[in-house]
Amino acid sequence: MRRSLVLAALLALLVAANAGAFERMWEFLDFGAGVLALVSLTATVLWGLAATDRMLLGSGHRLFAQAVHRGTAVGGLGFLVLHIWVKIAEGRTSAVAALVPFTDAGRPLLIGLGTLAGYLFLVAAVTGAVRSAFAARGRSRWWRALHMCAYLAWCAALVHGLRAGRAAAAWAEAGYLLALAGAAVALALRLVVARRTETAAGSRGKDSGRNG
């Protein structure tokens, strides 16, 4: 039974190879891996913002948003690794340029932004995975500062994705611009709410101190 399954699988691979499926797959990965990485990481940023909303979402919805946020982050980093591997394998850039920002011989700025975005996304992912290590008093601000590298990474990735490769369709550029504007508005509202919460907490602390 197992031998027949192995033979059937090998036969299917042989037929697919003769039909040019692998060549087409490679062509798709040349463009699609980067697009999937950018779409996934865009979704990661947007779902991360949704997970912090307390004006419209309840606790159950925020937990769901956090789960989607983590899932799209893992998927985005996976597609990012695949994207880098494909570009190096095709000779579109070098391994050194993929590791050291702004060292590409042809397009140092655009390729360097992609490399920089990769590192910043990695920082955000690691801090998200070890969030409990920042739970001690006084370290939460460090966690926020490091995790917010994702916003810088996303902006760099947008420029890299829309300008380093083939020209994007007008609707794609418009979609990313709308996502960028929406994220900016959501982030601004988040900062305003956080500032008001801190101010209210400080006022309550002063009032309790006076009453005591």
Tell me the percentage of the chain whose pLDDT exceeds 70: 77
What integer pLDDT is reported at residue 88 of this predicted model? 93
Residue 134 pLDDT: 73
Span 133-181, pLDDT tens digits = 776 656 777 787 888 888 899 999 989 988 887 777 787 788 788 888 8
- Residues 93 and 103: their CA atoms lie apart, in Å, by 10
pLDDT band for 198, please (50, 70, 90 cuts).
low
Q: From residue 56, how far is each of 50, 51, 52, 53, 60 by CA, in Å?
A: 9, 11, 10, 7, 12
What's the pTM?
0.77
- Tally Cβ neighbours within 10 Å of residue 39: 19
Q: What is the mean pLDDT of the chain?
A: 79
Q: How confident is the model at residue 58 (pLDDT cuts 50, 70, 90)?
A: confident
> Across residues 87-104, what is the average pLDDT?
92
